[in-house]
Amino acid sequence: MSTLPEDFISKYTRLLGNESIDFFKALEGPVQKAYRINPLKANTNLLDTPNDGQVPYGQWGFFGAVSGHAVSHVTGVVYSQEPSAQFVGEIVQPEPGERILDLAAAPGGKTTHLAAFMQQKGLLWSNEIFLNRAKILSENVERMGLQNSVVSSHTPAELSAKLPQYFDKILLDAPCSGEGMFRKNITAIKQWHRDFPQELAELQREILHEAVKMLRPGGQIIYSTCTFSPEEDEQMIAWLMSEYPEFTLKTINKPKDTHISDGQPAWADKQFTDGQIYQSKTTDQEILKKTARLWPQRLNGEGHFVAKLEKASNVPLSDHTVKPLKPIELNSEQQKLMTSFVSESFVSFQLDKRQFTLFGDRLYLAPVGTPDISGMKILRLGIEMGTFKKNRFEPAHALALAMHPDEFVQKYNMTTDDWAKFVHGDVIRPDSGASLKKGWVLMVANGNGAGWGRYVDGQIKNFFPKGLRFMVKQTHSDLLEDDMY
pLDDT digits (tens, 9 = 90+) for 63-118: 999 999 999 999 999 999 999 999 999 999 999 999 999 999 999 999 999 999 99
pLDDT tens digit sequence for 43-67: 999 988 999 999 999 899 999 999 9
Q: Identify the pLDDT of residue 47.
A: 87
| Cα 357 to Cα 25: distance, rounded to the nearest angstrom | 54
pLDDT at residue 399, as a whole number: 98
Q: Is 394 exposed, middle or buried (0-12, 13-18, 19+ CB in 10 A)?
A: middle
Residue 480: its pLDDT value, please? 64
326's CB contacts (< 8 A; 6+ apart) are 372, 374
Q: Which carries the bigger pLDDT value, residue 352 or residue 441?
A: 441
Per-residue pLDDT, averaged over 365-394, amounts to 97
Question: What does the alpha-carbon distance between residue 188 and residue 175 come to, in Å, rounded to a whole number?
Answer: 12
Instruction: Exactly one of 103, 114, 151, 226 is catalytic; name it.
Output: 226
Cβ-Cβ contacts under 8 Å for 350 (sequence gap 6 or more)? none
d(CA 76, CA 28): 32
Q: Are 289 and 261 in contact (CB under 8 A)?
A: no
Rounded Cα–Cα distance for residues 271 and 262 (Å): 21
End-to-end C-alpha distance for the chain, whole angstroms: 20
Strand spans (E) along 164-240: 167-173, 215-225
pLDDT over 80 (residue 132): yes
Annotation marks residue 176 as catalytic: no
Mean pLDDT of 159-172: 98
Between 152 and 432, the more confident residue is 152
Instruction: Report the alpha-carbon distance of residue 472 to residue 360 in Å, rounded.
Output: 35
Rounded to whole angstroms, how far apart are CA atoms 188 and 174? 15
Please provide the average confidence, as pLDDT, over all residues in the chain: 96
For residue 164, give the nearest of 280, 320, 298 by alpha carbon. Answer: 320
pTM for the complete prediction?
A: 0.96
Q: What is the mean pLDDT of residues 325-348?
A: 95
Predicted local confidence at residue 433, as pLDDT? 73
pLDDT band at 331 (very low <50, low <70, confident <90, very high): very high
In this prediction, residue 479 has a pLDDT band, given cuts at 50, 70 and 90, of low
The pLDDT assigned to 484 comes to 54
What residues contact 424, with CB distance under 8 A and at least 6 apart?
469, 470, 471, 472
485, pLDDT greater than 70:
no
